[in-house]
């Protein structure tokens, strides 16, 4: 019986896999051909591909059809400066198709059989990789890596978890990852408060939920931006990851993982059914009723949030839920420098915890399909992207234009000698010099923190220090975290069927309770009963079985 490994109870990861199951059978007859493809082209490899590590990759100009997701930092992948450099370096021409809705495009292309040689930057989860790998649509890469994977084998040796988390239960690697050991990303759920406003109302950084409430009231009533207008928005978020207004605040009532689950005494529980969760919702509802939270927080996107953050007349945002302040302000401006991180708040029962996400990889960043006539060419291209030279170009840009080698006396973010210094225009937006983190790259913690701690480009330095001093002390005990679990295919299917109904209902009910559309006290028992009817107990039982099996 095969088992599928998930990094924690990833509800959303499972959901994306179930959408595409209907498409698996459309190409099932190609499984045998895809599995043999790398070996069957052995004779052609000597004619087409140069030896491992030798550039260019191909002896003659070769084309790969690539389907990529869009990125706001890329104007046009075909004319992109990194693309041009990569093609010159490798002798591989990339024929681009770009998807604005990658999840939908992935599902449609796989179901129809109209898919490219390579999926780039789609970050396909391990369940889908396994399903379509077994079906022959995604080819196994193990033999290709063994023969051509100079950089990927170095990565697997230096960072063994990258190979472990890239390997499917059947032992095959169907997709290569993007590695980004981002320290501040391990605790992405943050609040940012305007320090000038705190000074204006004569208050200190809030440390408890009650103090936070008092600060928001002061922001609403005491005209902290000084324009003699009641235009201040005390607290705001957005309907995007790490900007949900409830996630940070609920951590002061009940400590849970990113999927609203927690473990106590060896038992896995759902946080969103606990009395503490209910009290947290009542607290947030109080903020709503008193006009301390902007109602747009539940629906607006990042662009709408930034428009408010860059309000041309006056600064109007007091506290913002965001991973970093350039989510709601432009990096090239100066407003974001007035915001500092709010440490995890202590709740009424003494709970005070950060939302911690273990460092891992982004799976399925480069996936080769059975449409690739020469998969060894595609593999060598992906492998080259892990080199330091390619990573620097793909992420930072052109040497001596977007970045330069650090001087001997320059110090990195981590206090050690720096390796590179950012220069030129580092603001967000489509500058077309990089791939904007689309596709494979190897950004170790050492690489990221080797950036010069430059006062002119202080964002990474600030994020590192704010996370280290304000959030790291409150991260959960690893022994109390739900580890990576193995599920059988049958369990995975059952979880997927149950979890979508539960997740949709929880989100809808939570939003309604927060805004007051659903009375929390009167409807709580009904809410719990509905979750039971949606098979939440069975869902938790499956996770418990997987956890207990792991301990044996």
At residue 297, what are phi and psi to the nearest 5 degrees?
Answer: -55, -30
199, 221 Cβ separation under 8 angstroms: no
Residues of the chain with pLDDT under 50: 1-45
Q: Where are the domains of the chain?
A: 3-179+361-396, 188-342, 488-509+521-551
Please report where in the chains the tokens 């950012």 appear, as a residue: 422
269, 484, 487, 546 from 481: Cα distances, Å? 12, 10, 18, 14
Q: Which fold has domain 188-342?
A: D-Maltodextrin-Binding Protein; domain 2 (3.40.190)
Instruction: Specify the pLDDT at position 131.
Output: 84
| Tokens coding 365 | 């960043």
57, 85, 124, 301, 478 from 119: Cα distances, Å? 19, 20, 9, 26, 34
CA 33 to chain centre: 34
Instruction: Specify the pLDDT at position 500.
Output: 84
Q: What is the largest CA-CA distance in the chain?
A: 78
For residue 205, which of 336, 342, 345 has the smallest C-alpha distance?
342
Instruction: Specify the pLDDT at position 426.
Output: 52
| Cα separation, 150 vs 146, whole angstroms | 8
110, 137 Cβ separation under 8 angstroms: yes
Instruction: Specify the pLDDT at position 457.
Output: 81
**Could you report the per-residue pLDDT of 469-486, keeping only the tens digit for each?**
999 999 988 777 888 777
In 10 A of CB 394, how many CB atoms? 27
The reply to whether 188-342 shares the fold of 3-179+361-396 is yes
Confirm or reject CATH 3.40.190.10 for domain 3-179+361-396, answering yes or no: yes
**Could you report the per-residue pLDDT of 305-325, keeping only the tens digit for each?**
999 999 999 999 999 999 999
For residue 140, which of 103, 101, 166, 115 has the smallest C-alpha distance?
166
Instruction: Specify the pLDDT at position 36.
Output: 41
Instruction: Specify the pLDDT at position 430.
Output: 56
Identify the sign of the CA torsion 246, 462, 218, 300.
negative
For residue 364, which of 178, 489, 496, 182 has the smallest C-alpha distance?
178
Instruction: Specify the pLDDT at position 382.
Output: 98
In 10 A of CB 181, how many CB atoms? 18
3-class DSSP string for 273-302: HCHHHHHHHHHHHHHHHCCCECHHHHCCCH
Q: What is the pTM of this model?
A: 0.77
């Amino acid at each position: 019986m095969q088992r599928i490994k998930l990094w924690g109870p990833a509800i959303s990861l499972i959901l994306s896999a179930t959408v595409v199951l209907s498409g698996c059978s459309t190409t099932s007859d190609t499984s045998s051909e895809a599995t043999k493809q790398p070996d069957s082209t052995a004779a052609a490899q000597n004619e087409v591909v140069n030896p491992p590590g030798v550039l260019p990759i191909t002896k003659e100009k070769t084309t790969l059809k690539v389907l990529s997701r869009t990125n706001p930092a890329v104007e046009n992948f075909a004319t992109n400066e990194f693309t041009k450099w990569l093609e010159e370096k490798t002798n591989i021409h990339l024929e681009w198709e770009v998807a604005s809705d990658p999840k939908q495009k992935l599902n449609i292309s796989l179901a129809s059989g109209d898919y490219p040689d390579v999926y780039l930057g789609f970050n396909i989860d391990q369940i889908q990789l396994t399903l379509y790998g077994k079906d022959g649509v995604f080819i196994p890469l193990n033999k290709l890596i063994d023969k051509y994977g100079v950089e990927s084998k170095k990565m697997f040796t230096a960072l063994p978890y990258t190979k472990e988390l890239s390997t499917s239960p059947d032992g095959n690697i169907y997709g290569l990852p993007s590695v980004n050991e981002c320290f501040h990303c391990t605790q992405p759920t943050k609040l940012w408060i305007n320090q000038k406003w705190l000074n204006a109302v004569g208050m200190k950084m809030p440390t408890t939920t009650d103090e936070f409430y008092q600060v928001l009231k002061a922001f609403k009533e005491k005209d902290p931006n000084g324009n003699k207008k009641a235009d201040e928005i005390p607290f705001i978020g957005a309907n995007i990851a790490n900007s949900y207004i409830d996630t940070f605040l609920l951590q002061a009532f009940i400590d849970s993982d990113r999927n609203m689950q927690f473990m106590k005494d060896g038992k896995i529980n759902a946080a969103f059914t606990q009395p503490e969760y209910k009290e947290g919702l009542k607290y947030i509802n109080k903020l709503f009723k008193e006009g301390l939270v902007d109602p747009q927080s539940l629906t607006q996107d990042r662009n709408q949030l930034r428009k408010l953050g860059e309000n041309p007349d006056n600064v109007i945002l007091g506290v913002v839920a965001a991973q970093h302040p350039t989510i709601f302000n432009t990096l090239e401006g100066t407003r974001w420098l007035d915001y500092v991180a709010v440490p995890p708040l202590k709740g009424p029962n003494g709970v005070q915890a950060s939302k911690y996400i273990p460092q891992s990889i982004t799976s399925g960043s480069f996936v080769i399909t059975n449409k690739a006539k020469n998969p060894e060419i595609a593999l060598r291209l992906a492998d080259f992207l892990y080199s330091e030279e390619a990573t620097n170009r793909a992420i930072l840009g052109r040497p001596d234009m977007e970045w330069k080698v650090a001087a001997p006396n320059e110090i990195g973010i981590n206090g050690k000698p720096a390796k590179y210094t950012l220069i030129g225009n580092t603001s967000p937006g489509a500058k077309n010099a990089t791939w904007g983190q689309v596709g494979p790259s190897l950004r170790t913690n050492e690489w990221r923190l080797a950036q010069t701690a430059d006062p002119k480009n202080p964002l990474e330095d600030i994020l590192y220090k704010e996370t280290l001093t304000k959030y790291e002390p409150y991260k959960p005990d690893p022994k109390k975290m739900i580890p990576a679990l193995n599920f059988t295919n049958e369990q995975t299917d059952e979880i997927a069927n149950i979890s979508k109904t539960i997740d949709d209902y929880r989100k809808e009910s939570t939003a309604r309770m927060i805004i007051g559309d659903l009375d929390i006290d009167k409807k709580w028992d009904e809410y719990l009963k509905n979750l039971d009817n949606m098979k939440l107990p069975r869902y938790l039982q499956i996770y418990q079985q997987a956890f207990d099996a792991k301990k044996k």
